[in-house]
Amino acid sequence: MTRRAVWLRGGGGGGRGAALALLAVLSGCAYYNAMWSAERYAKEARRLEARGQEAEARAQWALAAVKAESVIARHPRSRWADDALVLQAEGLARAGSCATAAAPLAKARATVTAAALRERAGLAGAQCALAAGRTAEADEMLVEALASKDARRRSQAQYFAGAAAAARLDYGGAVEHFRRSREPAALSARAHALLATGRPADAVAVIDSLADAPLRETDRADLLTELAAVGGADVASAALDRLLARGRLPFAEQARLLIADGDRRFAQSDHDAAAARFRQAESVALAATSEAGIARVRAQRVLAARATQRSDLAPVIVELTRLTHADGGGTPGGQSLLELVTQVNAAPESPGAGFRAAEVARDSLGAPLLAGQLFLDLAAADSSSLYAPKALVAALALLPERRDSIAALLDARYGSSPYTRAFHGEASVAYAAAEDSLARELGVQVARATLPAGARFDVPLTGPRGPWLEDSPHAGVAAARHAQPPRPADRPSRDRPTQPERP
């Protein structure tokens, strides 16, 4: 028998030793390959995190955790077992599986002695503690990593420390921690903290640096919304212009940011700026995208808000009809806006329907000039209607330049009306009865009918809610409810008196 054959058959002490050596080598290779795979997944996860692709990174972290767990199960006493244990805990925490990560995290913190591994375990534990809202525990977990010699781990620790401070509403401390971090998310988090402390100018400087930063899709939109709330819509619009000029954002994100900015300007009745933003969004977005459709619908919304008479709504209806037919009614807000505009444009069949249409124009379309004219038309069309004096009072708030003439007409024609008396701040017990009559005719909740003698009211204010009166300590008549109240957009508002003082 040849020497090779003896070795293969395991004959002789030398042969058995060689076989055992080969098995050890093969075992070591298997262990090395498994650990290499785990580290490869972790490296890919970090790369994706740096690019802001959080969902994809979580998937890679989960794979790294699975591979690391297999290493521990097959080679529990190997010299790299601690590395595998920490990587398992780290992968589970980064993947969002903190409940599963609890056991390996506890074991790692109890048994691992290497400084670098303990710092990594502490970072994973801090992430899970923050997810559970345990900020004190997160601070404890970060002690070693905050003093690390490794710049990357220090950066991560500063980011988590900033998140813990922000969760405690310590925004000043959060700003400092985020300033020391180099994590991709630290810049936007720092801007949020600056805005929370009321420092829009400092926040703008940070936001300007985010033009090409790898952020989550909604980060820039959220920051601009907060900036508008703290610093004003003009400041947010200027910041958006700089972001668009400096960065290379995806066209869809650009369009969404422009639409959001247009909505903010529209809410301030700055129709020119809103219309310009919606046109800009449509030009940026691809023609067939949902963002382009939304921008077109928003542009028609601006035209409707600018209307001063019913005829101004005709081209809006034509365009909205075309848009909804073209996209099968899939553009958000298109069909509902068309229904509202059509309702306002239709000739009213009764004074009640006319009053509802005027309120929809005011409250749903945001068209004050059109609504004021519709209220005046209602008062002129049926001067004896129960709605006429109420409509004149509503028109007063919408057409301030015609206040004197409308007030004179109200006094001359309806001097004894409870609405006129309430408008002048006079006592009027009949006010509640008039509101009850309106409520019954429109089919909405009936107001309370009994008020204390001598009660006085401020100027009646119309609003988006249905007829009602404030509860008073003397009100003794229970409200009757209609079985099916109309939708809020169709519900007529009522003049709201102030609540009488309690004795």
DSSP string, 329-394: T-STTHHHHHHHHHHHHSPPSSHHHHHHHHHHHHHTS--HHHHHHHHHHHHHH-TTSTTHHHHHHH
Instruction: Please check whether residue 301 lies inside any domain of the structure.
Output: yes
Domain check: are 477 and 377 in the same one? yes
pLDDT tens track for 211-260: 878 777 788 999 999 999 999 999 999 999 999 998 788 899 999 999 99
Question: Is residue 232 assigned to a domain?
Answer: no
**Does 269 fall in a domain?**
yes
Domain span including residue 264: 250-346
Q: Which of 297, 314, 346 delimits the end of a domain?
A: 346
- Confidence check: pLDDT of 454 > 80: no
End-to-end CA distance of the chain: 119
Q: Lowest-confidence range among 27-41, 45-59, 214-228?
A: 27-41
The predicted model scores a pTM of 0.73
Do 474 and 375 reside in the same domain of the chain? yes
Q: What percent of the chain has pLDDT over 70?
A: 79
- 149 is written with which tokens? 């010699």
- Asked if 439 and 467 touch (Cβ cutoff 8 Å), the reply is yes
Percent of the chain predicted with pLDDT > 90: 53
Q: Is the pLDDT of residue 201 over 60?
A: yes
In a domain, residue 183? The reply is no
pLDDT interval class at 493 (50, 70, 90): very low
CA distance 398 to 403: 9
DSSP-assigned letters across all residues of 75-100 = -TTSTTHHHHHHHHHHHHHHTT-HHH
Q: What is the pLDDT of residue 36?
A: 83
- Is residue 149 situated within a structural domain? no
Q: What pLDDT, on the 0 to 100 scale, is given for residue 51?
A: 78
Same domain, 385 and 485: yes
Q: Which residue has the higher pLDDT, 50 or 25?
A: 50
Looking at the domain assignment, is residue 268 inside a domain? yes
Asked if residue 388 belongs to a domain, the reply is: yes
pLDDT tens digits, one per residue of 267-284 = 999 999 999 999 999 999
How far CA 295 is from CA of 248, 279, 449, in Å, comes to 21, 7, 47
Backbone conformation region of residue 329, classed left if phi is above 0, alpha if psi is from -120 to 50, else beta: left
Q: Does the structure show a pLDDT above 70 at 10?
A: no
pLDDT of residue 31: 54
Using CB atoms within 10 Å of the CB of residue 196, give its burial: 0 to 12 exposed, 13 to 18 middle, 19+ buried: middle
Check pLDDT > 60 for residue 11.
Answer: no
Q: What is residue 233's three-state secondary structure?
A: helix
Query: How confident is the model at residue 8, as a pLDDT?
Result: 36
Query: Does residue 7 fall inside a structural domain?
Result: no
The conformation of residue 400, written as its DSSP 8-state character, comes to G
Closest CA to 295 of 257, 240, 249, 351: 257
- 355: burial class by Cβ within 10 Å (0-12, 13-18, 19+)? buried
Considering the domain architecture, whether residues 279 and 329 belong to the same structural domain is answered as: yes
Q: What distances in angstroms separate CA 159 from CA 97, 456, 465, one per listed residue? A: 20, 59, 46
pLDDT at 157 over 70: yes
- Helix/strand/coil for 156: helix
Domains identified in the chain, total number: 2
User: Residue 323 is part of a domain; what is its CATH number?
Assistant: 1.25.40
Q: What are phi and psi of 473, to 5 degrees?
A: -65, -15
Higher pLDDT, 3 or 436: 436
Does the pLDDT value for residue 440 go beyond 90?
Answer: no
Dihedral, CA of residue 424, residue 426, residue 431 and residue 434, to nearest 10: -50
Pair 403, 330 in one domain: no
**Model pLDDT for residues 323-335, shown as the tens digit of each residue:** 988 877 667 888 9
**Shared-domain flag, residues 395 and 484:** yes
Number of H helices, E strands in the chain: 25, 0
Place of tokens 């068209």: 367
The confidence score (pLDDT) of residue 442 equals: 61
Q: Please, what is the average pLDDT of the chain?
A: 81
CA-CA distance, 38 to 65, in Å (whole number)? 7
User: Is 337 a residue whose pLDDT tops 90?
Assistant: yes
Helix (H, G, I), strand (E, B) or coil at 51: coil
At residue 462, the pLDDT reads 47
pLDDT at 495 exceeding the cut of 50 = no
- 202 residue type, one letter: D
Query: What is the mean predicted confidence (pLDDT) over 463-485?
Result: 34
